[in-house]
Chain A
Amino acid sequence: MPDLLTTARRPKGDVGLLIVALVAVVAGTACYVVKGPEIFFSVLGGDLTLLLSIAPKVIGGVLLAGLLTVLLPQDKVARWMGARSGLRGLVLAGLAGALLPGGPMMAFPLTVALRGAGADIGTTTAFLTGWALLNLNRTLVWEMSFFGHDFVFLRYGLSLAVPLLLGLAARLIFAAAAAAGKEAKNAQSERGGGE
């Protein structure tokens, strides 16, 4: 099992931060020049208030992510979802995705682990879709901070069945291709397992 403390460090993390920081500086400067100092400082005040209200959630969010990472080890999640898991496997996969903490550095390596453990295209699709659309951590911490609960409930409710449906669709559409490529894939995952 890879050490999560080291894999959690993004290889391109600082590039992303640089872009966001650059956008903030450019937009702030433009706001000051175009709209004048009065509006600039009122926007700044509003932003700082928003940051203060978000802060407790961020602290709770990173604590939750850390706890879930430790309590939901990758190898166990992979074991729960075999290739012939049927609808139950798809539901479990979507649920696991919704509960999985952390960003892409957690989710995508885990799908590779799932695939290696025998999960099919349906299960991995349901898993990634659950992670992308229904991630509890992200919704509680970020989405609830920036949107009203009406909007969040509407979007989340509409997305509830989507992991299952996309998983089924992926199985139907790509089942033949997956069966044909299975032997090649098995050989590949054995070789690429240590990456």
Chain B
Amino acid sequence: MNIVIASLLLYGAVLVLGRSAWQRHDGSFHRSLQLALVQARLVAPRIFCAVLGAGFIAALVPPEAVAAVVGGDTGVLGLLIASALGAATPGGPMLAFAVGGAALEVGGGTPQIVAFVTAWSLYNLNRTLVWELSITGRAATLRRLACALPLPVLLGFAAGEIAGLAAVLQ
């Protein structure tokens, strides 16, 4: 179901934007196709490896272990661990989301995985060190990190509260 919704949104946006790029008649359309091709070449081998790797890892790691570390009952400590794991996870969104999705399936708690995804999104070490630090500089990086630091735990906590509320209401 979600695949259908997401695909409709995605291809709707592609059609609308593609039309306006085409109507410019200045090579914008052609240029965007070139960019798409460059990105596809970059991304395709990564997705392939990431999906295979995450699948094998999920098959290897026993669900009890995942549940014990980042399960729904692990509380604030689980949120902290999930945040740290998110910060330490290298690679692009395909790897992080594949790992998070697999963890959710084999016993991870929703709040903990929200914390994991949020931490990876806000400050995964790989991206911060390679890109942010080298491009925006040390001062700007440290300031942004200082503001963002507690967010994964807070959002994970809020996710747990909302899930709890929804369970009570039902």
Do residues A149 and B95 form an inter-chain contact, with CB atoms below 8 A? no
Chain A residue contacts of B20, Cβ below 8 A = 71
Chain B residue contacts of A21, Cβ below 8 A = 45, 49
Do residues A8 and B39 form an inter-chain contact, with CB atoms below 8 A? yes
Which residue in chain A gives the minimum CB-CB distance to B11?
A: A60
The smallest beta-carbon distance between A63 and chain B, in angstroms, is 5
Chain B residue contacts of A74, Cβ below 8 A = none
Do residues B1 and A43 form an inter-chain contact, with CB atoms below 8 A? no
A9 is an interface residue with CB less than 8 A from chain B: yes
B147 is an interface residue with CB less than 8 A from chain A: yes
Do residues B1 and A67 form an inter-chain contact, with CB atoms below 8 A? no
With contact pairs A30-B60, A58-B40 given, residues A63 and B151 touching in the complex (Cβ less than 8 Å): no
The smallest beta-carbon distance between A153 and chain B, in angstroms, is 9
Chain B residue contacts of A37, Cβ below 8 A = none
The interface bits of chain A over 155-176 (1 if a CB of B lies within 8 angstroms of the residue's CB, else 0) are 1001100100010011001100
With contact pairs A71-B21, A108-B135 given, residues A65 and B10 touching in the complex (Cβ less than 8 Å): no
Do residues B131 and A105 form an inter-chain contact, with CB atoms below 8 A? yes
With contact pairs A71-B28, A133-B122, A155-B155 given, residues A104 and B35 touching in the complex (Cβ less than 8 Å): no
Which residue in chain A gives the minimum CB-CB distance to B110?
A: A151
Which residue in chain B gives the minimum CB-CB distance to A144?
A: B6
Do residues B36 and A63 form an inter-chain contact, with CB atoms below 8 A? yes
The interface bits of chain A over 68-85 (1 if a CB of B lies within 8 angstroms of the residue's CB, else 0) are 111100000000000000
The interface bits of chain B over 43-57 (1 if a CB of A lies within 8 angstroms of the residue's CB, else 0) are 111111111110111
The smallest beta-carbon distance between A90 and chain B, in angstroms, is 13
**One of B64-72, B75-83, B86-94 at the interface:** B86-94
The smallest beta-carbon distance between A195 and chain B, in angstroms, is 9
With contact pairs A13-B42, A24-B49, A47-B52 given, residues A132 and B97 touching in the complex (Cβ less than 8 Å): no
B170 is an interface residue with CB less than 8 A from chain A: no
Which residue in chain B gives the minimum CB-CB distance to A11?
A: B130
The smallest beta-carbon distance between A113 and chain B, in angstroms, is 11
Do residues B59 and A31 form an inter-chain contact, with CB atoms below 8 A? yes
Mostly, the A contact residues are helix
A30 to B158, CA, bound (A): 37
Do residues A58 and B130 form an inter-chain contact, with CB atoms below 8 A? no
Do residues B90 and A58 form an inter-chain contact, with CB atoms below 8 A? no
Do residues A43 and B55 form an inter-chain contact, with CB atoms below 8 A? yes
Chain B residue contacts of A28, Cβ below 8 A = 52-53, 56
A56 to B6, CA, bound (A): 11
Chain B residue contacts of A121, Cβ below 8 A = 140, 143
Do residues B55 and A60 form an inter-chain contact, with CB atoms below 8 A? no
Chain A residue contacts of B104, Cβ below 8 A = 147, 151
A61 to B131, CA, bound (A): 22
Do residues A133 and B127 form an inter-chain contact, with CB atoms below 8 A? no
Interchain CB contact (< 8 A) of A71 among B17, B57, B151: B17
Which residue in chain B gives the minimum CB-CB distance to A13?
A: B42
The smallest beta-carbon distance between A86 and chain B, in angstroms, is 18
Q: In the complex, given contacts A64-B14, A147-B100, A149-B1, what are 6 additional A-B residue pairs having Cβ atoms less than 8 angstroms apart?
A: A23-B49, A58-B43, A65-B36, A108-B136, A133-B121, A169-B147
Residues of B within 8 A of A (CB): 1-3, 5-7, 9-11, 13-14, 17-18, 20-21, 28-29, 31-40, 42-53, 55-60, 90-95, 97-98, 100-101, 104, 110, 113-114, 117-118, 121-122, 126-127, 130-132, 135-136, 140, 143-144, 146-148, 151, 155, 158-159, 162-163
